[in-house]
Amino acid sequence: SGFGLRLDSGTSDITVTNSVIENYQVAVYIIKGSGSNAVRNFTLSHSIIQNNGGQGFLGGGPDTYIGHNTFINNGHFGVFDHNIYFGCADMGDSDPPCPFVIEYNEVQGASRDSAGRCQGAEIVAHGYLNGTIIRNNIIQEPDGAVETCYGIMVNPSYSRLEVMSNLTITGNQIYDVGRSGIFVEA
């Protein structure tokens, strides 16, 4: 239970690399904050995130980098669990950048059902986004997927306004997900 790594409000300049995080409820959790409460400049690289009960990565803040990792079999609660679930808190009316770079990750097994099929999204974003890049990831489901499995999903899902702009999705290889390889909605 609990978190493998939790970053609370105002934390900045943290790098986690060459690590294995497994068997937690959420492997890496970054509290979404804005202004001075935003977690800034976080890097997760060259690590294995696997077999966590809920999310592999959850939350985020400006200048988050998730690259060169392997995410396998994170989540057990159907459509609500994902390997990478990111976004920022609303940064205010001036639409400041809140860039994420998610690149060169190998991702599979989001919220597998009893038959081993993907049910969640491999990489999903909700909330505030401005300046996100999702590139050169390998997303595959060798054990199959059901209709609720997405490769990359960027869409509003909250009851409040979600501003999403300046999104780049390029160079990803996506195989055998159930619903859509890439789904974007605004």
145-174 pLDDT per residue, tens: 999 999 999 988 777 777 888 999 999 999
Average pLDDT of the residues in 28-38: 90
Question: What is the band of 119 on the pLDDT scale with cuts at 50, 70, 90?
Answer: very high
Tens digits of per-residue pLDDT, 65-114? 999 999 999 999 888 899 999 998 876 667 788 899 999 999 999 999 99
pLDDT band at 33 (very low <50, low <70, confident <90, very high): confident
Name the residue with higher pLDDT: 49 or 158. Answer: 49
pTM of the complete model: 0.94
Cβ proximity of 95 and 134 under 8 Å: no
The arithmetic mean of pLDDT across residues 42-53, rounded, is: 97
Q: What is the pLDDT of residue 1?
A: 77
Between residues 181 and 128, the one the model is more confident about: 181
What pLDDT was estimated at residue 30?
A: 96
- The answer to whether 3 and 32 are in contact (CB under 8 A) is no
The confidence score (pLDDT) of residue 91 equals 67
Name which of 43, 40, 2 is nearest 19 in CA terms: 43
The DSSP code for 142 is T
| Chain mean pLDDT for the chain | 92
Local structure of 5: helix, strand or coil: strand
